[in-house]
Homo-oligomer: A and B are copies of this chain.
Amino acid sequence: MSKNPAPLPFDLKSLEVFLAICETGTMSAAARALGMTQPAVSQSIADLEQSLGLKLLDRDVRPLAVTVAGGLLRQRAGALIGEARQIAPMLRQTEHGKLPIIRVGLVDSLTRALTEPLANYLATIADEVSILSGLTALHAGDLLTRRLDLFLGVDDLETWTGLERWQFAKEPYCLLLPESLKAPRTVSELKKLAEAQPLIRFSARSQTGLQIDAHMRRLGLSPPRTMEFDSPYAVTAMVAAGRGFAITTPLCVVEAAIPGAPITTAKLPGPQVSRTLTLVARHRELGRIPRDLSDLARKSLDQATSSK
């Protein structure tokens, strides 16, 4: 528990002293510039050299020269202090309770149902709101590399640590058929259907597609991979056009929003499987926002599906 990964060998103050020496060229001038005395500067820099175990200044020449390591430290320390100086003003922007910006990933199949409520809520907590629809796999990468603050999708990234997860919906996979077709009631009827009609697939790039593929294998089904799509709309539209049947979820059908389409959903024969929709964020970075957002998502989805 108490593993100390080596304490930092400097603090920002001593870096500022070092930079002042670099800029003025002498310790005395640096001391004047910083409003301290010359011995304080001398000691500070001696301590810094000691804790780094490196000489930073070449005291044999006048004016003082920096060593190789000193030059490198000057570069990096300058950058570090520059960034540090930006932090406080940025925090102050949040004083009226708003973040400067919040970036949210939203899985395609929830775009229609959630974009508006999410955006309305997020606008109350951030000055700039960015909602990016797409595949959860891409959002996951963006979250881990800090290009996103959180995402709502179908992968909870359970293999990663340092994340917080809020489940806000769970829905069964179901069959989606043209109205003209009769729904299979057993696995063997489903097999027959799959031989007679092409399966319109979600692509294996999407998490949903992967889960459906895995379930099909469990059922012993391996229909040919003839048509696959990334978007819920595309899958639904193809079924509505009578081009085949699909395995999908209620929310995906809602997402497609094709009113009056000649389609019908049916229970998937065999063991039930469902997908869980999860909000994922880096642990504790956003306070209560993730929890509030998942509550909002749950409520919004209840409304969207009940009014259907």
User: Which residues, 71 to 92 on A, are CB-close (under 8 Å) to B?
Assistant: 71-77, 79-81, 83-88, 90-92
In chain A, positions 19-48 with a C-beta closer than 8 Å to chain B are 22-23, 25, 32-35
**Is residue A66 within 8 Å, beta carbon to beta carbon, of the partner chain?**
yes
Binds B, one of A2-10, A107-115, A241-249, A260-268: A2-10
Residue A52 is within 8 A (CB to CB) of chain B in the complex: yes
For chain A, which range describes its interface: under 10, 10 to 19, 20 to 34, or 35 or more residues? 35 or more
Min CB gap A206→B, angstroms: 29
The segment from A151-159, A251-259, A279-287 that touches chain B is A279-287
Decide if B87 touches A73 in the complex (CB within 8 Å).
yes
| A34/B4 contact (C-beta < 8 A), A52-B88, A88-B9, A288-B65 known | yes
User: Across the interface, do B4 and A54 meet the contact criterion of CB distance under 8 Å?
Assistant: no
* Chain B residues within an 8 Å CB radius of A23: 162, 283-284
Q: Are A146 and B75 in contact (CB under 8 A)?
A: yes
A104 at the interface (CB under 8 A from B): no
Say yes or no: B284 contacts A66, CB within 8 Å. Answer: yes
Complex Cα gap A79–B8 (Å): 14
Q: Which of A93-101, A190-198, A210-218, A219-227 interfaces with chain B?
A: A93-101
Inter-subunit contact B87/A284 (CB<8 Å): no
Cβ-closest 3 pairs across A and B: A69-B94, A71-B285, A11-B11
Residues of chain A touching chain B, judged by Cβ–Cβ distance below 8 Å, are: 1-2, 4-5, 8-13, 16, 22-23, 25, 32-35, 52-54, 58, 61, 65-77, 79-81, 83-88, 90-92, 94-95, 97-100, 125, 146, 162, 283-289
